[in-house]
Chain A
């Protein structure tokens, strides 16, 4: 071909594409729907009043020299978010059903009509059964204004909002048992410091897309990556070692590693002595700590002892510090102490633990776990010699005995000194930090006066408490206050245990002993009644049996999709009791589909909001209103304001008298709107967002001079301090602007006590139920066969393609895979059952069934099937979703209370329904 034949490049073509990459304006954004950790700063590009696309900002500065920056945080959901704004699943008008519930027949109504129906239903419920019959199950997409609006609205009514962590079960009970909080969280950039990363009960390549680069970069910086999982998980592909393990035997692996470390003399004794309860003295028969009340007249029940090797005597463990002030406690041995009642034979917790570890030789653990004994030894030695970081994705707590795995993992890290310094630790999820979101919720008027007064009274209360007991820490005082508020019924949330047990239908499964741990010696109901009867859940054990739910308000969640036990269980047990179901959502979720009224909510980019503030990213990230919401969609604060306005109007018209809720709190719905808006002062969310930022400058969690105008220019602030909330303060590290964030440094570096009974990382839990269950120390137990006697274990996991269920039915995301939910199963299992790839299978057990196409993979563990969660039930035939086979068992021990730190506060100690490891049968069915 000759040059002369070529033509000048077509300018028309060139210009056509150049014009596509044009816009009228740019706004800052993030996806503020509790995408966790989320906080990706995004720029949104608007043309002709429509968001045409979005792109990660990429403007983070380097935090710590030598550590990669956080750019360009984002993922495919975020990159395609704008497609959902005009997606076919979008709801833009108030709707009322005209057919049966779930029929999908709707009529458009006005906001006024919708609000009237809701207000009258609420008033009916309050008059019939009391405010506890109005319920809002928490969900993961609640966001800034859903949380604020629903919280204010339910506070005015006195209704029940279930605890978000109990509902979604991102709780880590084993962390809580050990640390007194479940949520130590290092910043994602800290992963880069690790020398050994154990990806364990997690799949970050799916669930931590914006941050996984830190693991791969750590690998290039010399770290080893080890993935421990039954399947050759998508997060195994960039590991150096992949360790296949029999499902739900991970505690045995961790304990065998602990045994190797103890036997080979690799224990970090200083760390163990300072940070843990392992040196404390314990009666080997009763498994109870030696206490002050046994040692001296009038002694403190919460005074514990150690054996000082230097003086050869029992000494009281200091309560105000972890440091031993010249003493050096023994971690091993048996001793005789002079107690009030005479000589007592005691030993150390470490000694008890060592005896327990005798059951976990690598050879025996190999038979339990399927992991080669030599591999166990190799891994143990690596942990003992390297900065070790366990990356789990909130997965453990979703298994029946996940708490035992967590306790064993933390023991492994304790023995090797692997927390409280860079590149180490376990993690949960945390929020807090953003003081303004709390202060604005509590303020009586705009302006700085209220927040200054709050700071002042908080400081006075803290100082008064510290004067009473100087051994306390600010974190302990904050947690104590939070627990006390909950016990008064004023914590704002209620563990969902009582809603589920009394009303949702879960009790049927829980009462099947063969689906629970055989260590339960009594029926489930006995334990439940004992827990309630002893007042362990005082103030939060609502709704009671007689408080039948009448109105259900779904905002920011999808209870039909999410509830363990299944949507079908709710439709059969709960729905018939409900006089009104109202869903506030951006789209037609499965719950919206089963509602009587659906209210249209403004999407991301259509309202201002803040992302979930967390130490995972240490940034407060902002979403601006780039475009107007479509048709009649409004932000949640405005939606609840309209409901409050109508509630006030109808309460006055109906002459509803002031009343008290079951906890004694007074309510007067004839002033609902006045209370909601603080007499008209809090209506505009722009003003409220500005207040939140200004208040946060005053409390010091973000820099001085913060304002809405300023964050609109820069998109985010970096947190300067942990702020006021107890969950924040319990991270126990002062953040710095030039360092990755690592929790628990004050414990490890300064000897600050932990918020547990013993004020140490606590491995011995002497609660009588735990002793009865032989779980007073970390151990391994086989998981009960919940669901029935079936050959497969179904596990789930957060999917790659959606944040909760929000994006699962988005066509763009569906086009990036097979467009349907799919069940991952092993190729040999499939062949045995005559199941071809992409053919339909029926998944069934004694709880329920669903039908789904199989995805046949050589990477799946034989005998295990994986159903990544989040898909809408209406993406399955007959709208039967995978939750229908999940009995949603709870572990009875998690109802325990009345012991040390085992007491509810919001998002913390409580039972949560598990779903992974459920037993199912699989069979081929016709069709796709």
Chain B
């Protein structure tokens, strides 16, 4: 079976509703405990939620280059370990069981014993603006399985491929030689480097779960019911309706030119105050220019549509869009991947 360079037969995609995210990192922990809690991966956060505006993960996440401009690859760099944040160690023994008598307190240490100055969620809840008009929202990131995957194109080992059946982009770890061209090329900096194995690793969209009809852990475990999942071509599905029909779900940094398959419903924000301390209805609390930079020009129309449809519902009318975003039945968020991992029929567990 040859690896298809052509578009996949079906493309799995996600919509993250930023108006529902509470920044709890359940998705992050769900991912961590499933995939990246082994040595060499302990500093990896395939899924991460960051407060925006903010520096993101890795630090200055959107300023390391990569992606495409006018169809040409943009040079990128692989952020340093310091930018990603090193895995931390906590010396419980020294504090709790070695007679330090208050001399030691429990705190994170980097490998060399230094105190960390950065980590994957370092600027949690900081954001921008000045009191009382400060603002922030939470931005979730996973591998976006881009339709123009810069990582794939950049790999000289052809170790990265896209699956025909769901459009997921995966790294063949047996072929990977750890050159990190993919990590340089990814404009979202979602590729990590496993120092122990000297290979690149990234979010795998929980393909073993998808293969069993179960939504990825970050999607299925999101208590905020933020994440919608489906194949893009399902015209009755949430992705198609939110992205194509209602146009309220937008790509992140569309200027990166990679055509990601993760979309975001942009954040509405509370009214700001004018200098008299009155509500100022003329401008968004989150500067609209910032939202345009993040989500492209479609953000104005998307926010307008959200407002119009909310008012419609408040006036007692029906709105397909609001019904989709509410998703009264949780399974509706999961598209065709509604399998319950606790009850699915699985192939024989492990070969004895």
Contacts and interface: CB of A to CB of B under 8 A. Distances in A.
Interface of A: 1, 3, 5-10, 12-14, 16-24, 26, 43, 45, 53-59, 62, 66-69, 71-76, 78-80, 82-83, 87-89, 99-100, 102-106, 205, 209-210, 212-213, 216-217, 219-223, 227, 232, 234, 236-242, 244, 370, 372, 374-375, 588, 593, 800, 809, 811-812, 814-820, 824, 826-828, 838, 855, 857-862, 872, 874-879, 928
Contact of B208 (A21, A100, A220): A21
Given A13-B171, A55-B217, A812 B32 contact: yes
B133 to A, nearest CB: 8
A928 B341 contact: no
Contacts of B221: 55-56, 72, 74, 79
Interface in B301-351: 310, 313-316, 322, 325-331, 340-342, 346, 349-350
A66 B328 contact: yes
Given A68-B330, A212-B22, A216-B224, A372 B93 contact: no
A76 B25 contact: yes
A213 to B, nearest CB: 5
A860 B132 CA distance: 9
Contacts of B122: 818
A212 B322 CA distance: 17
Interface stretch (B74-82, B100-108, B179-187): B100-108
Contacts of A827: 130-131
Contact of A6 (B2, B37, B211, B310): B2
B322 A221 contact: yes
Contacts of B246: none
B105 A858 contact: no
Closest 10 CB pairs of A and B: A819-B108, A222-B314, A10-B172, A88-B92, A71-B330, A6-B3, A858-B134, A242-B270, A205-B22, A43-B342
- Select the residue from B106, B158, B209, B346 with max chain A CB neighbours within 10 A: B106
B177 to A, nearest CB: 13
B279 to A, nearest CB: 7
Given A23-B349, A99-B99, A811-B88, A16 B22 contact: no
B147 interface: no
Given A1-B5, A234-B22, 10 more contacts: A13-B174, A57-B342, A71-B330, A216-B20, A370-B277, A372-B277, A811-B88, A819-B88, A859-B134, A875-B107
17 contacts: A10-B172, A12-B174, A16-B173, A22-B346, A58-B340, A67-B328, A72-B222, A75-B223, A88-B90, A205-B22, A217-B325, A221-B326, A816-B29, A819-B88, A820-B107, A824-B125, A876-B105
Given A53-B33, A234-B22, A819-B107, A210 B223 contact: yes
Contacts, number: 316
Contact of A234 (B23, B211, B313): B23
A66 B269 CA distance: 26
Contact of B3 (A9, A55, A819): A9
Interface string B79-119: 00000000110101101111111100111100000011101
B188 interface: no
Interface residues of B, number: 109
A241 B217 CA distance: 33
- Select the residue from A10, A16, A24 with max chain B CB neighbours within 10 A: A10
B234 interface: no
A12 B250 CA distance: 36
A593 B96 contact: yes
B295 interface: no
Contacts of B124: 817-818
Nearest to A222: B314
A103 B107 contact: no
B153 interface: yes
A227 B270 contact: yes
B271 interface: yes
Given A216-B19, A237-B135, A10 B173 contact: yes
A877 B96 contact: no
B137 A237 contact: yes
B136 interface: yes
Contacts of A838: 117
Contacts of B25: 76, 816
Contacts of B105: 874-879
B170 interface: yes
A219 B279 CA distance: 19
B220 A58 contact: yes
Contacts of A43: 341-342
B349 A22 contact: yes
A539 to B, nearest CB: 40
Contacts of B244: none
Nearest to A22: B349
Contacts of B341: 43, 45, 55
A391 B87 CA distance: 38
Nearest to B217: A55
B264 interface: no
Classify the secondary structure of B's interface with A: loop
- Select the residue from A43, A102, A213, A370 with max chain B CB neighbours within 10 A: A213
A843 to B, nearest CB: 15
Nearest to A8: B1
Given A67-B328, A205-B23, A22 B350 contact: yes
Nearest to B174: A10
Given A13-B173, A213-B225, A239-B270, A75 B26 contact: yes
B228 to A, nearest CB: 13
- Select the residue from B93, B125, B222 with max chain A CB neighbours within 10 A: B125
Contacts of A89: 92, 96
B163 interface: yes
Nearest to B103: A878
B287 interface: no
Interface string B1-35: 11101000000000000011011111011101111
A814 B108 contact: yes
B158 A7 contact: yes
A98 B323 CA distance: 63
B207 interface: yes
A55 B328 contact: no
A105 B106 contact: no
Contacts of A87: 92
Nearest to A801: B25
Contacts of B34: 20-21, 53
B132 A244 contact: yes
Contacts of A239: 270
B66 interface: no
Given A6-B158, A13-B171, A58-B330, A76 B28 contact: yes
B127 to A, nearest CB: 7
Nearest to B199: A13
A826 B206 CA distance: 41
Contact of B327 (A13, A68, A812): A68
Contacts of A80: 29, 32-33
B260 interface: no
B121 interface: yes
B61 interface: no
A104 B91 CA distance: 13
Contacts of B102: 102, 878-879
B297 interface: no
Contacts of B115: 928
Contacts of A67: 328
Nearest to B341: A55
Contacts of A17: 35, 204, 207-208
Contacts of A812: 29, 32-33
- Select the residue from B107, B122, B127 with max chain A CB neighbours within 10 A: B107
B213 interface: no
Contacts of A593: 96
Nearest to A88: B92
Contact of A375 (B87, B130, B131, B279): B279
Given A6-B158, A811-B88, A76 B172 contact: no
Contact of A241 (B20, B23, B97, B271): B271
